Amino acid sequence: MSISSMKQLVQDAALQDKAVGAFNVGNMEMILAVVTAANELNTPVILQIAQSRLRHSPLYLMGPMMISAARNAHVDIAVQLDHGQTEETVQEALSLGFSSIMFDGSGYEYSKNVRLTSHVATMVRDAGVSMEGELGAIGESREKEDDKIICTDPDLAQEFVQKTGVDALAVAIGNAHGHYVSDPKLQFGVLEEIHNKVDIPLVLHGGTGIHPVDFRKCIYHGVRKINIATSNFDAATRGAENYFKDEEHYNYFGLNEAMVHEVYETVKKLILIFNNQISLEQIFKN
């Protein structure tokens, strides 16, 4: 199939009261796993790679693999640069054929975030590509349980969307990247208020470690794209660990299959949750 736009996928998800899984990848095995799960479940997904990962997984190598995988999939797949930080990397992703750009200006003060996001959004629109922005202090997982939760301001979110023209907005509601040191306390009241003020799909970053019930609540309050990165990298590592623990004689091809399988199982379960295709009883049982 042809590569899809993130904007179209999240709009379709909204009509079906679902969320699109946006899965970060770092090697061929992870790409194979995500696409295999998506094909098997006949569900569109988003393949992503974050700019911060390019030191280990260069874009000029990863990009063509991701594009080819999307084109050869049996379902619609968007290919996105996640947490883009520089104009140069955005341009490289666009030149490779990425169908979506997520620019992260959340580390800057508000006016600079608006200015930089607006500039990138113009570039992206001119290329006919979808655009995601971020507003709020998502950052890394909190190191201490009593750290103050800083959420996206709903009024600023409304203004930010109007000024930048982004197609989707990543928000901070108590979510964080990486591993949570305790169960995340998502602020659903804030999410609901943002949803009521903003007329575009919302994005939840930091999906690893969030309870399936909370995923469902987020979807109910307007989240249409859920990012998963750490779970995928953990799964790939776990697949390798289990392979070396269980096998007596090692070879690359067995290692390859073990990594693909673990990531595939992780992605498959998450897709079912995001699609509302697995009951809470099944979730707790597993």
Which tens digit of pLDDT belongs to each residue from 228-246? 999 999 999 999 999 999 8
Q: Report the pLDDT value the prediction gives residue 147, as an integer from 0 to 100.
A: 56
% the chain with pLDDT above 90: 84
**Sequence spans of domains, the chain:** 6-285
- What length does the chain have? 286
Please say if the pLDDT value at position 175 is more than 90: no
If you average pLDDT over residues 187-214, what whole number do you get?
94
**Nearest to residue 79, comparing CAs of 113, 35, 121?**
35
Each residue of 87-145: pLDDT tens digit?
Answer: 999 999 999 999 999 999 999 999 999 999 999 999 999 999 999 999 987 755 544 44
Q: Name every residue whose Cβ is closer than 8 Å to that of residue 35 and which is 6 or more positions away in sequence.
A: 45, 47, 69, 70, 73, 77
82 tagged catalytic: yes
- Per-residue confidence at 285, pLDDT binned at 50, 70, 90? low
In angstroms, rounded to a whole number, what is the distance separating the alpha carbons of residues 69 and 33? 11
In angstroms, rounded to a whole number, what is the distance separating the alpha carbons of residues 65 and 218? 31
In angstroms, rounded to a whole number, what is the distance separating the alpha carbons of residues 24 and 41? 18
**Nearest to residue 73, comparing CAs of 50, 122, 100, 40?**
40
If you average pLDDT over residues 264-276, what whole number do you get?
95
Query: Among 82, 104, 153, 167, which one carries the catalytic annotation?
Result: 82
Q: Report the pLDDT value the prediction gives residue 144, as an integer from 0 to 100.
A: 45
If you average pLDDT over residues 250-278, what whole number do you get?
94
Secondary structure (DSSP) of 70-139: HHT-SS-EEEEEEEE--HHHHHHHHHHT-SEEEE--TTS-HHHHHHHHHHHHHHHHHTT-EEEEEES---
In angstroms, rounded to a whole number, what is the distance separating the alpha carbons of residues 129 and 80? 10
In angstroms, rounded to a whole number, what is the distance separating the alpha carbons of residues 156 and 150? 14
Please say if the pLDDT value at position 71 is more than 60: yes
Q: What is the pTM of this model?
A: 0.93
CB atoms under 10 Å from CB of 155, counted, come to 11
Q: Report the pLDDT value the prediction gives residue 281, as an integer from 0 to 100.
A: 58
Each residue of 23-54: pLDDT tens digit?
Answer: 999 999 999 999 999 999 999 999 999 999 99
| CATH number of the domain located at residue range(s) 6-285 in this protein | 3.20.20.70
Each residue of 142-161: pLDDT tens digit?
Answer: 444 445 678 999 999 999 99
Helix (H) or strand (E) holding 232: helix 230-246
In angstroms, rounded to a whole number, what is the distance separating the alpha carbons of residues 175 and 260? 27
Q: Report the pLDDT value the prediction gives residue 143, as an integer from 0 to 100.
A: 46
- Name 22's bridge partners: 46, 227
Q: Report the pLDDT value the prediction gives residue 149, as an integer from 0 to 100.
A: 73
**Nearest to residue 101, comparing CAs of 198, 17, 170, 26?**
170
DSSP letter at 21? E
Look over the chain and give the mean of its residue pLDDT values, rounded to a whole number.
Answer: 92
Q: Which residue has the higher pLDDT, 229 or 181?
A: 229
% the chain with pLDDT above 70: 93
Please say if the pLDDT value at position 268 is more than 70: yes
